[in-house]
Structure 1
Amino acid sequence: MKDQKLSWIDLESTGFTDLNTRGIYKHKLLEIAVLITTKDLKYVDELNLVIGHDKREAQYWADDYVLKMHTENGLWDECAASSLTYEQAEDAILAFFKKHDIGVRHSALWGNSVYLDRAYIETKMPRLSDHLHYQNGDISAVKNFIKLISPEFEPVKAKTHRAMDDIKESVAEAQVYMDLFRPQLEKLLQIRKAKERAIRERDDGPGFAP
């Protein structure tokens, strides 16, 4: 699709450690960032939302690592100052998609380890979940594949653990892979086309005029 747009989403929460025990229904979604790019990863627009929570109640579900992380990056205080509900945040994101002509199931969910983000979205924002395509564009999977080839490879990241910072780093990481793969893929396609052309010419024979 010529005008295809990609929906990149990252979120911050009170934790991911016990989601396999249905802990996701207790954990809190603290912040969600949405970034739209073209299929060539050119910036289009962004939206960042901090969900309102009682600080003490939200912190109850966080382990020591998450407590320290969101104390240092200021997210606990921003959540305490916010009055935004899950439903209001969901409305804002759906309006954002409508503004950019991203219809129902038009875009996969792009980001890093997005199965975790999708789990929260399915639980806390079901209308947004229904709007997104079921496919994931998981940049972490690409990184893990590259590390099989070169174990020392690791993308450079600031690790602020804020949603918009993280999603912009995901897009930058994807750009590295696109720049790495595109020349090789173009070369591979040229070789394949040349082989197909040679097969057609062989099958057609030298040709004789009547």
Structure 2
Amino acid sequence: MMSSRAFLVLKTVFLLTTNLKSYQFSKVTALAIESTSGCGLPSNLRNMSVNSHTVRPSASTKSEDNIVWVDMEMTGLDPEKDHVLEVACLVTDGQLNILAEGPNLIVHQPPNVLANMNEWSLKQHKQSGLTQSSKNSEISLKEAETTLLDFVRKWTPYQMCPLGGNTIYMDRMFLKNHMPDFEQHMHYRIIDVSTVKELCRYTSPILFCYLNVNKIK
């Protein structure tokens, strides 16, 4: 099982999406949640976990209803000057059942690139070990793109499936600049979980509190 930051963030985003999809901000759920103290939940909600979705180990099936979920780690937030460090990917069907967990790739970056990351990235990626892993990696950016593209082509027809993730517009800008063939394979629409997060914050603040979705950056 992959344990990198990119993949863990992707799984957390997926947990948020599947849980909110299950309850759909219903008034009944909101009342049930708010009837408990603090951020406590009724027992049927308290046991929700990242394993609550269905993993379907099946042969590759292309469908325009599939969704490609991506999370990336970069040296900063400027796609013109910053660089890709890591990318994780998985594919679900339209009901958010995981069809396949894709490659988790750490891209090699030279010492001069790693030394010039922004302050947040320097601290975060040093703590997580990603800085050293990127320095040691033998995977080039082009090799990473080719591997990702080979994976999603097994599950998605050309320009038919949306890209999903948290603040995914940012990842897409980096994909467009640094992995253009992969980006062009995707449909122009995106599924941005940060939108779901904001809707949850406004419509079901107790659920928002319970899921700790504000920690998903």
CA distance in 2, matches of 1:157, 1:75: 24
User: Which deviations, in whole Å up to 9, do the C-alpha atoms of 1:29-68 show, x marking residues without a partner?
Assistant: 10011111121111222221111111342231x2222111
TM-score by length of 2: 0.64
Give the one of 137, 143, 146 matched to 1:91.
Answer: 146
Partner secondary structure for residue 48 of structure 1: strand
Matched, 1:54 2:107: no
Matching residue of 1:108:
162
TM-score by length of 1: 0.66
Higher helix share: 1
Matches within 5 A, 1:168-187: none
- After the TM superposition, list the runs of 4 or more consecutive aligned residues in structure 1 that deviate by more than 4 angstroms: none
- Extract unaligned runs of 5+ from structure 1: 160-165, 171-210
Query: What amino acid does structure 2 have at the position aligned with 1:78?
Result: S
Residue 113 of structure 1 and its aligned partner are, at CA, apart by: 0.6
Q: Are the equivalent residues in 2 in contact too, given 1:32–1:48 (CA < 8 A)?
A: yes
Matched, 1:5 2:66: yes
- Extract unaligned runs of 5+ from structure 2: 1-61
Q: How many residues align?
A: 152
Greater shift in the superposed pair: 67-76 or 141-150? 141-150
CA distance in 1, matches of 2:152, 2:73: 20
Matching residue of 2:127:
72
Give the one of 12, 15, 27 matched to 2:76.
Answer: 15
Q: If you compute each CA radius of gyration, which structure gives the higher value, 1 or 2? A: 1
Q: Are the equivalent residues in 2 in contact too, given 1:55–1:76 (CA < 8 A)?
A: no
